[in-house]
């Protein structure tokens, strides 16, 4: 294919955004587990050893990628200043995705440009449509190879995050030089700021540019990861267990502690069985020992999210023809919501007349909104992960409520 037409460029951009979203969701799905594992290290040496060990594991996994995508991974893991060309890492990743797709979906574009005759017809399509095409392998898309690319790009993203953690701790331990952004965040933590002052800080640093806002948010996440870990190390395992016992002595049950966020129960990977069968309990030291320490930073994150939402609303105003039915808001978490649909979907004979699980995931994503749903809604990839690996806490939740529902059913007889 020679030079792209405006229609082809618009289609290529839609697929680029869809693939980039898949990568982002897949990489973020590991974040909480990484934080939990990192926080379980007892000292700086153990943290460094753990981080280096994880990096080696990811490097070995990356070595198994297809040769056809190795070049993209190399560029993403070790970009030079020339490669970045002044772009944020997010823009750079999208550029790599776009370059990858330009060599893989030309035949697909040839088909789709027969369907979409105008730019307006492309913009009027709901955003998850392009994700569905990739997931279902429609119009000749090689969904298996696309998933292979997404998997390894997400792994490269996770590797970059671990390298950032290692670099952060090395700088903290080996140099007195400070990071300007981290200095700013330290100041925000230790001094009282009004919302207007925090807004002025965000505006000065980002000019309220979407990419700059996202980049600042990522910097804050890395800062919080390292700083909270330093605080958690001040409290021994014995002190932490005693704090939990003190809460129980005040009348809190284990269910109360889970509901209030003091502890989290889940499953961990068992090396012997090679499955997620090990029980673990994660104790939230921040919630117990220093609940207000990072409150100003969370306020800052809230302001950034508010500005990103304003940008989203403006983008939607530019496409007034796109109408969507309001989603049903639920107090259920994504794991709880996905599990109840999974239980119904697994019934025999089948209850849902769907062609595939992907169709069910799209329905849930398009029609439900949880308290913690992102601005893009519930990710279909997140739902797929929860279907394959149900959350232990969600299992306990429905185990309790199904007994109640069964009791109510019996009363109706």
**Cα separation of 90 and 88, whole Å?**
5
Report the range out of 121-135, 176-190, 244-258, 392-406 with the highest average pLDDT: 244-258
Q: What is the pLDDT of residue 37?
A: 72
Question: Percent of the chain having pLDDT more than 70?
Answer: 85
* 174-183 pLDDT, tens digit each: 444 447 888 8
**Residue 267 belongs to what H/E stretch?**
strand 263-270
Mean of pLDDT values over 306-318: 81
* 51-101 pLDDT, tens digit each: 788 888 888 888 888 888 888 888 888 777 777 777 777 788 888 999 899
Q: What is the pLDDT of residue 199?
A: 92
**Cα separation of 343 and 144, whole Å?**
27
Alpha-carbon dihedral angle through residues 368, 369, 374, 378, given to the nearest 10 degrees: -20
Mean of pLDDT values over 271-299: 78
Tokens of 144: 């298996």
Q: What is the pLDDT of residue 1?
A: 44
**Cα separation of 120 and 135, whole Å?**
24
Burial of 392 (0-12, 13-18, 19+ CB in 10 A): middle
**Residue 232 belongs to what H/E stretch?**
helix 210-232
Mean of pLDDT values over 125-146: 86
8 Å CB contact between 202 and 217: no
Q: What is the pLDDT of residue 382?
A: 78
**Whether the predicted pLDDT of 376 surpasses 70:** no
- pLDDT band for 242, please (50, 70, 90 cuts): very high
- pLDDT band for 170, please (50, 70, 90 cuts): low
* 179-218 pLDDT, tens digit each: 788 889 999 998 888 889 999 999 999 999 988 898 898 8
Q: What angle do CA 356, 23, 34 make, to 5 degrees?
A: 105
Q: What is the pLDDT of residue 137?
A: 87
DSSP 250-261: TT--HHHHHHTT
Q: What is the pLDDT of residue 381?
A: 72
DSSP 134-188: HHHTGGG--HHHHHHHHHHHHHHHHHHHHHHHHHHHHHHHH-----HHHHHHHHH
Q: What is the pLDDT of residue 177?
A: 43
Distance of CA 208 to the CA centre of its chain: 22
Q: What is the pLDDT of residue 206?
A: 92
**Cα separation of 338 and 333, whole Å?**
9
Alpha-carbon dihedral angle through residues 145, 391, 165, 191, given to the nearest 10 degrees: 130
**Cα separation of 157 and 72, whole Å?**
12
**Whether the predicted pLDDT of 275 surpasses 60:** no
Q: Is 374 helix (H, G, I), strand (E, B) or coil?
A: strand
What are the counts of helices (DSSP H) followed by strands (DSSP E) for the chain? 21, 4
Residue 49: Cβ within 10 Å count? 12
Residue 326: Cβ within 10 Å count? 7
End-to-end C-alpha distance for the chain, whole angstroms: 67
Question: Percent of the chain having pLDDT more than 90?
Answer: 13
**Whether the predicted pLDDT of 372 surpasses 60:** yes
Of 150, 14, 382, 404, the closest CA to residue 142 belongs to: 150
Angstrom CA distances, 347 to 341, 383, 390, 393, stand at 10, 18, 16, 22
């Amino acid at each position: 294919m020679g030079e792209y037409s405006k229609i082809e460029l618009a289609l290529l951009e839609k697929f680029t955004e869809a693939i980039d979203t898949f990568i982002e969701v897949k990489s973020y799905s590991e974040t909480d587990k990484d934080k939990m594992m990192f926080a379980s290290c007892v000292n700086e040496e153990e943290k460094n050893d753990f981080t280096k060990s994880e990096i080696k594991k990811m490097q070995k996994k990356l070595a198994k990628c297809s040769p056809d995508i190795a070049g993209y991974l190399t560029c993403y893991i070790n970009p030079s200043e020339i490669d970045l060309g002044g772009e944020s890492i997010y823009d750079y990743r999208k550029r790599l995705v776009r370059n990858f797709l330009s060599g893989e979906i030309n035949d697909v574009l040839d088909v789709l440009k027969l369907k979409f005759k105008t730019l307006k017809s492309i913009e009027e399509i709901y955003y998850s449509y392009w994700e569905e095409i990739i997931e279902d392998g429609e119009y000749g898309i090689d969904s298996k190879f696309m998933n292979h690319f997404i998997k390894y790009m997400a792994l490269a993203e996770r590797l970059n995050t671990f390298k950032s953690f290692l670099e952060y701790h090395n700088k903290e331990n080996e140099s007195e030089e400070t990071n300007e952004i981290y200095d700013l965040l330290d100041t925000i933590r230790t001094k009282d700021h009004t919302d207007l002052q925090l807004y002025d800080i965000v505006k000065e640093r980002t000019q309220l540019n979407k990419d700059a806002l996202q980049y600042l948010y990522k910097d804050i996440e890395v800062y919080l990861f390292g700083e909270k870990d330093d605080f958690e190390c001040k409290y021994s395992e014995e002190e932490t267990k005693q704090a939990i016992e003190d809460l129980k002595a005040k009348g809190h049950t284990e269910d109360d502690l889970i509901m209030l966020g003091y502890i989290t129960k889940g499953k961990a990977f068992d090396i012997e069985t090679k499955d997620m069968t090990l029980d673990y309990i994660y104790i939230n030291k921040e919630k117990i020992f220093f609940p207000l320490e990072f409150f100003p930073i969370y306020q800052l994150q809230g302001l950034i999210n508010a500005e990103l939402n304003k940008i989203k609303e403006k983008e939607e105003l530019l496409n007034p023809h796109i109408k969507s039915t309001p989603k049903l808001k639920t107090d259920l978490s994504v794991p709880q919501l996905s599990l109840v649909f999974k239980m119904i979907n697994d019934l025999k004979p089948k209850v849902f007349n769907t062609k595939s699980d992907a169709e069910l995931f799209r329905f849930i994503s398009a029609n439900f909104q949880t308290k913690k749903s992102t601005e893009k809604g519930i990710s279909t990839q997140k739902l797929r992960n929860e279907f394959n690996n149900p959350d232990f806490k969600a299992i306990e939740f429905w185990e309790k409520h199904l007994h109640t529902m069964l009791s109510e059913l019996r009363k109706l007889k």
